Amino acid sequence: MIVPLTSSDQWRFRVSTSVAGKPGAAAADQVRAIDHTRLGRRIGDADPKVLTAVLAILREMFED
């Protein structure tokens, strides 16, 4: 499962972050499953606070 990165963080299910020194957002509303062979080069690691926020959003989106 991946959460794509975007430059727009003005949506409810997005978490502000920066990647490779550039501002952006983790788009939890666009979570998807992909084959690992489709991934390109690694550009960095997500901050633990961002991961926690994304997980909280995913729980909210998929709770009963």
SS3 24: strand
| Model confidence pTM above 0.85 | no
What per-residue confidence (pLDDT) applies to 44? 78
Report yes or no: 46 and 16 within 8 Å, Cβ to Cβ. Answer: no
Report the run of H or E that residue 58 belongs to, with start and end: helix 48-62
Residue 44 CB-density burial (10 A; 0-12 exposed, 13-18 middle, 19+ buried): exposed
Instruction: Give the integer Cα–Cα distance in Å for 54 and 15.
Output: 7
In which band, very low, low, confident or very high, does the pLDDT at 14 lie, cut at 50, 70 and 90?
very high
Assess whether pLDDT exceeds 80 at residue 17: yes
